[in-house]
Amino acid sequence: MNEKYDQLQTILTELAHLEKAVGVLGWDRNTKMPKGGAKARAEVVATLNRLHHERFTSDEVGKLLEALEPWAADQDADSAERRTVEYTQWAYERQTKLPADFVVERTKKLSAANQAWQTARQEADYTQFAPHMENVLDITLRLADFFKPYDHPYDVLLNQYERGMSTQQVQTLFDFVRGHQVELIAAIAEQPQVDNSFLHLHYPIDKQLKAGEEIVRAFGYDFNQGRQDETTHPFAANLGYGDQRITYRADEHFLNPYLFAIMHEAGHAMYEQGIPEALWGGILYRGTSSGVHESQSRLWENLVGRSKPFWAWYYPRLQAHFPENLGNVSLDDFYKGVNRVAPSLIRVEADEATYNLHIMLRMEIEIALLGGEFTVAELPEVWNERIHKYLGVTPEDDAQGVLQDVHWSWGLYGQFPAYALGNIIGAQFWGHIEKALPDLDAHIAKGDFKPLHGWLVDNIYQHGRKYPPGELIERISGERLNGDAYVAYLKNKFGAIYDL
């Protein structure tokens, strides 16, 4: 082995430990912390993040990477050593490009923007947020400029979440998928609507939690290495090897929010539970990209959790938890009910067939704003016009429209595409899983998720962040990322449900 590589690993481990400490502080803040602790907690987190940044961008790391570059190039392309050096180089270059005073300025402006957004959203008053949105746009463009030359400033932002993907690639993919989805939704709108009123009865939360635990345990989520807790905005958190937690929000008058979110978050958490201990403490100990991560959460939530075989197994059990509500609802009606398509205003409440359009709208707007195609002042108008064009709905106010998501106020340009990419990547994987596991549906219909979980561990989870998303997709499917499987899946599934 290489002594300098060991030195690098020692530093990366220190950084990983700082990240996990920040992770625990964040999980705690979002699930347990009394509200009085917010201010001090933010200070503690800021200190740990500063220590992390200082250490990672130190000359020591730069020199080690320089010395290790030729050595790493000689290592096996699949080795953790080579991939560690490559990923660290990539991340080091990104972090060192931003001057310290710019980082401070950005953090302050985003913090102010986020506060303004909270009030603006509550009061459904975009004018309060607009000047901050100008600041965010300005600082985002300046951030991109540190990475010149680029083909497109959006590449810089997208790459924070999808290493190696280009704006053009994603745009082409989305253009293809969008056409089919708009067509599908229009066709569905002509058909009689399915009933899902039984999902809106009284579902006591303790029973929901029990059902959720049964389901995700069967999927393969390990409660010896995790737990579920209530929060405001559900998330999954990897708090160190052997500790991957999921969080939920439950509505006692609507079954979906808890049930499908817990499958979703368990999908994220199982990905991280499947990364081997050998990678713990290194820079590869994490899912490879936001999009691939979403492919795993959406796979368990939708491709499994909203499928016929899944409900063939679980529906009798769910009925046993809620006999008053579901005793007289048939499996087929239940299946159709949880797959009901109804264009709506709010992204996080969108159904499987319309969800991507919410994302594509946001990506288009981000790119157009960066390119100066319209102004920040015109944004609500553009939003309302396009959401009507895609989904036929019109927001009553900006809280239901342009102000609904937190992302822009935090400067998270470039993150939205991951959510739609996740759906598309998941379907592309699924096609290959079905070939590899011909009895997959039969297993799922018996509640046996071991073959599926095992395949995901072997082909995706175990690699952690070793392969960039594009490379991982090609390794698995032998093809570049494309929307064929996803479009076919949607048409097939909703064609059957809506008799198209």
Catalytic machinery residues: 265
CA atoms within 13 A on the CB side of 29: 16
Residue 316 contacts a second copy per CB under 8 A: no
Residue 241 contacts a second copy per CB under 8 A: yes
Residue 209 contacts a second copy per CB under 8 A: no
Number of residues that bind a second copy (CB under 8 A): 40
Q: Please identify, among the stretches 29-37, 125-133, 471-479, 485-493, the one whose residues bind a second copy according to the rule CB under 8 A.
A: 29-37
Residue 471 contacts a second copy per CB under 8 A: no
Task: Please select the residue that binds a second copy; options are 5, 8, 12, 18, rule is CB under 8 A.
Answer: 18
Residue 205 contacts a second copy per CB under 8 A: no
Shorter beta-carbon distance to a second copy: residue 245 or 293:
245
Shorter beta-carbon distance to a second copy: residue 13 or 95:
13
Task: Please select the residue that binds a second copy; options are 32, 63, 207, 210, rule is CB under 8 A.
Answer: 32
Shorter beta-carbon distance to a second copy: residue 20 or 465:
20
Residue 48 contacts a second copy per CB under 8 A: yes
Residue 35 contacts a second copy per CB under 8 A: yes
Residue 51 contacts a second copy per CB under 8 A: yes
Task: Please select the residue that binds a second copy; options are 1, 3, 6, 43, rule is CB under 8 A.
Answer: 43
Shorter beta-carbon distance to a second copy: residue 36 or 192:
36
Q: Please identify, among the stretches 9-17, 89-97, 139-147, 461-469, the one whose residues bind a second copy according to the rule CB under 8 A.
A: 9-17
Task: Please select the residue that binds a second copy; options are 71, 102, 254, 280, rule is CB under 8 A.
Answer: 280
Minimum distance between the CB of residue 368 and a second copy, rounded to whole angstroms? 41
Residue 453 contacts a second copy per CB under 8 A: no
Residue 58 contacts a second copy per CB under 8 A: no
Minimum distance between the CB of residue 246 and a second copy, rounded to whole angstroms? 11
Residue 24 contacts a second copy per CB under 8 A: yes
Residue 172 contacts a second copy per CB under 8 A: no
Minimum distance between the CB of residue 132 and a second copy, rounded to whole angstroms? 27
Minimum distance between the CB of residue 9 and a second copy, rounded to whole angstroms? 13
Residue 337 contacts a second copy per CB under 8 A: no
Enumerate residues 77-96 that contact a second copy by CB under 8 A. Answer: none
Residue 47 contacts a second copy per CB under 8 A: yes
Residue 301 contacts a second copy per CB under 8 A: no
Shorter beta-carbon distance to a second copy: residue 33 or 346:
33
d(CA 11, CA 89): 14
One character per residue 210-229, x = contact with a second copy (rule: CB under 8 A): ------------xxxxxx-x
Q: What is the 3-state secondary structure (H, E, C) of the chain?
A: CCHHHHHHHHHHHHHHHHHHHHHHHHHHHHHCCCHHHHHHHHHHHHHHHHHHHHHHCCHHHHHHHHHHHHHHHHCCCCCHHHHHHHHHHHHHHHHHHCCHHHHHHHHHHHHHHHHHHHHHHHCCCHHHHHHHHHHHHHHHHHHHHCCCCCCCHHHHHHCCCCCCCCHHHHHHHHHHHHHHHHHHHHHHHCCCCCCCHHHHCCCCHHHHHHHHHHHHHHHCCCHHHCCEEECCCCCEEECCCCCEEEEECCECCECHHHHHHHHHHHHHHHHHHCCCHHHCCCCCCCCCCHHHHHHHHHHHHHHHCCCHHHHHHHHHHHHHHCHHHHCCCCHHHHHHHHCCCCCCCCHHHCCCCCHHHHHHHHHHHHHHHHCCCCCCCCHHHHHHHHHHHHHCCCCCCCCCCCCCCCHHHHCCCCCCHHHHHHHHHHHHHHHHHHHHCCCHHHHHHCCCCHHHHHHHHHHCHHHCCCCCHHHHHHHHHCCCCCCHHHHHHHHHHHHHHCCC
Residue 112 contacts a second copy per CB under 8 A: no
- 398: closest CA among 426, 376, 414, 421? 376
- Range 314-318, long-range pairs (CB < 8 A, 24+ positions): 314/214, 314/215, 314/447, 317/211, 317/214, 318/211
Q: Which residues bind a second copy (CB under 8 A)?
A: 13-14, 17-18, 20-21, 24-25, 27-28, 32-41, 43-44, 47-48, 51, 222-227, 229, 239-243, 245, 280-281
